[in-house]
Amino acid sequence: MIKKELIKKLVESSLRKDGAIDKKTAEFVIKNFRKRELKEFQRQLTIKIMEQTVTVSYEGVLSTSSKKEIESIFKGKRVNFIREEKMGGGLRIRANDIIINYNIADLIAGYVNSIN
């Protein structure tokens, strides 16, 4: 079993900024890694992708300037903009394991929770 730290280093060095993985590394891993090592590789890869990705959900229209402003906040990370229905306006930003809720749907859910 290859050590977790080594797998982690391999993931860090092979993951490109656009979210794709280096082809040579991918082939090496699939060819040589055992099941447990593959599982750990997959786990570390998921964690790394999560760390590098920011997802912004919104309903309706989000202006290009707003998008650029958001992108400038999360410099060095890939920002995905996703249109989501039933949010009732506002935004939901997920950066790694932090979720920032600033939308009507979540606000109402908070009210309902509070009343309950």
Partner 1 sequence: MKAEELLQQIEKRLSTVSVGAKYENVGEVESVGDGIVRTNGLSKVGFGEIVEFEDGTKGLAFNLEEDSVSIILLSENNSIKEGDKVKSTGQILSSIGSDELLGRVIGPLQNPLDGKKLQLKGKAYPLERMAPGIVEREPVDTPVKTGIKAIDAMIPIGRGQRELLIGDRNTGKTALAIDTIINQKKKDLGLRQLICIYCAIGQKRSNIARTVGKLQEEGAMDYTVIVASGASDPASLQFLAPFAATAMGEYFMEKGQDVLVVYDDLSKHAWAYRQLSLLLRRPAGREAYPGDIFYLHSRLLERSSRMSDKYGGGSLTSLPIIETQAGDSSAYIPTNVISITDGQIYLENDLFNSGIRPAINAGLSVSRVGGAAQTKGMKQVGAPLRLELAQYRSLAAFVQFGSDLDEQTRNKIERGKRVTEVLKQPQYSPLDEASEIAIIYAATSGGLDDIPVDRIKEFESRFIEFIKVKNKKLIDVLKKGEKLDDKIQDELDKSLAIFKKAF
Residues that bind partner 1 (CB under 8 A): 43-44, 46-47, 50, 96-102, 106-107, 110-111, 114-115
Closest approach of partner 1 to the CB of residue 49, in Å: 12
Closest approach of partner 1 to the CB of residue 47, in Å: 6
Closer Cβ to partner 1, 73 or 100, answer by number: 100
Strand partners, 38: none
Closest approach of partner 1 to the CB of residue 45, in Å: 12
Buried b (16+ CB within 10 A) or exposed e, 25-63: eeeebeeebeeebeebbeebbeebeeebbbbbbbbeeee
Selection from 61, 62, 48 nearest residue 16 by Cα: 48
Closer Cβ to partner 1, 25 or 101, answer by number: 101
Closer Cβ to partner 1, 73 or 99, answer by number: 99
Spatial distance between the Cα atoms of 12 and 21, rounded to a whole number of angstroms: 10
